[in-house]
Structure 1
Amino acid sequence: MPKKILVNLPTKDLAKAKSFYTALGYSMNPDFTDDDVACVVISDEIQVMVLVEPLFRRFTPRDVADATQVTETILALSVDSREEVDDLVDKALAAGGSPVDQPDTHDMHSRSFCDPDGHLWEVIWFDPAGLQG
């Protein structure tokens, strides 16, 4: 059985977060979505649980980082082509995300954006020829 990853992210505005991730082409799992949390389905193995901050705080004794001020993590997501990198990042920027850096054009192509809550995402495509040997 493949392992799954559930990334938990706090949000200040759940409706805005849901709108953002839907604009990227992702769906919400209605079984795990309500007024306090949304389950964003990226793939069968990857889901992002976006929780309103008061609920998120119940899962940790630590302070919750304000991702608009500090980087708490970089969420890297691989895709199947250079075009898919650009398409996903362009959708993110059009939906209210903010750009982070310039495209990389070595044996991989990557671009980054921050979602409306400031969480840093990197979208990556690796050139299969560059990975060999």
Structure 2
Amino acid sequence: MQMFVNLPVKDLERSKAFFTELGFTIFGMAEGMASVVISQETQVMLLTEPVFGSYITKEIADAGKSTEAILVLGMENPAQVDELVDKALAAGAAPAGVQQEDGIRYQRGFADLDGHHWEALCLVQPAG
């Protein structure tokens, strides 16, 4: 099974450049949309607000003012968490959420250029 998460964006080219700076592969789907490849099974579809709006009957949420979802990327180790979040911040993202480091997980977050909340998470393996 695959999963496609759809996010509205104000400026598709700017969003594509942002995710490219984070090291993700991007490919165009159709006019007004592009896919951020997370893994073979997971993609995040970036849709311009007019295209996103054509699929829904409710108002588009303002991700800069409220949080509807937290998109969490599982990383293999804490260094990868730091690398991704530091790249995001350097590319114009804002810090988001509360950093978690409790011996079970290491997690940091950022808000992308449209305010969508992302987290990078590493579940720490128990010593044994």
TM-score tier after normalising by the smaller chain length? over 0.9
Which residue of the other structure, out of 76, 79, 83, is the alignment partner of 2:79? 83
Q: Distance in 2 between matches of 1:72 and 1:39?
A: 20
Q: Distance in 2 between matches of 1:70 and 1:104?
A: 21
Q: CA deviation at 1:102?
A: 4.6
Measured against aligned partners, the alpha-carbon deviations of 1:15-71 in whole angstroms (never above 9, x if no partner) come to: 1100110011001134x2x44001111111110100000000011100000100111
Structure 2 gap segments, 5+ residues each: none
**Structure number with higher strand proportion:** 2
Number of residue pairs aligned between Structure 1 and Structure 2: 127
Which residue of the other structure, out of 27, 39, 44, is the alignment partner of 1:29? 27
User: Share of identical aligned residues, percent?
Assistant: 42
**Structure number with higher helix proportion:** 1
Stretch of structure 1 that moved more, 99-108 or 8-17: 99-108
Correspondences of 1:62-77 after superposition (within 5 Å): 62-77=58-73
- The secondary structure found in structure 1 opposite 2:126 is helix
* Superposition CA RMSD, Å: 1.5
- Residue number in structure 1 paired with 2:118: 121
Q: CA deviation at 1:103?
A: 2.7
Which residue of the other structure, out of 12, 16, 19, is the alignment partner of 1:18? 16
Q: CA deviation at 1:101?
A: 3.9
Structure 1 gap segments, 5+ residues each: none
Q: CA deviation at 1:76?
A: 1.1
**TM-score normalised by L of structure 2:** 0.93
The structure 1 segments of at least 4 consecutive aligned residues displaced by more than 6 Å after TM superposition are none
Q: CA deviation at 1:11?
A: 0.3
Q: Distance in 2 between matches of 1:101 and 1:121?
A: 9
